[in-house]
Amino acid sequence: MKFRQARKQDLPVLINMLADDPLGAQREDSTLPLSQDYFTAFAHIEQDPNNELVVVEQAGELIGMLQLTFIPYLTYRGSWRCLIEGVRVKRDHRGQGVGQQLFRWAIERARARGCQLVQLTSDKQRPEAIRFYENLGFIASHEGFKLKF
């Protein structure tokens, strides 16, 4: 498996991965041509040194993805933390350890960037994802809140 920064030409596959579950299907649109909004968001991510859109490639096929956002904080003595979002593994590659390897890579990336902690959220409607994160050592120590517009 190879971990690398996503490229603009990867977007159709990435959006398909994001849309390939009941929750993603409600909020993503993978019809071609893709909405310009996806390309605009990608350009912002690509230009921001504190954001990394990472893909997992195996035998030339994209099989997983996640986004890392590095955030400076005053807490923890002015440290950095890493937020992990948009985690997906292609349906036909789930249960094969891809997610574990992707997270091991992401956690090491956060350490290399000097982060003091890694955080993520998971929708309560995804109990299998929550179990996966707990098995990796993540602790549900906080209650999360979101306000959608």
Q: Does 57 map to a domain?
A: yes
pLDDT digit string, tens, across residues 96-116 = 999 999 999 999 999 999 999
Instruction: Kindly state whether residue 73 falls inside one of the protein's structural domains.
Output: yes
66 belongs to a structural domain:
yes
Q: 50-64, pLDDT tens digit by residue?
A: 999 999 999 999 999
Q: How confident is the model at residue 121 (pLDDT cuts 50, 70, 90)?
A: very high
128: domain CATH number is: 3.40.630.30
For residue 95, the enclosing domain spans 2-135
CA dihedral 122, 125, 128, 132 (to 10 degrees): 10
Residue 53 lies in a domain: yes
User: How far is the C-alpha of 92 from the C-alpha of 34, rounded, in Å?
Assistant: 23
141 located within any domain: no
Q: Say if pTM beats, i.e. exceeds, 0.75.
A: yes
Q: Are 75 and 65 in contact (CB under 8 A)?
A: no
Number of domains, the chain: 1
Distances (CA, A) of 4 to 31, 46, 128: 25, 13, 26
pLDDT tens digits, one per residue of 67-86:
999 999 999 899 999 999 99
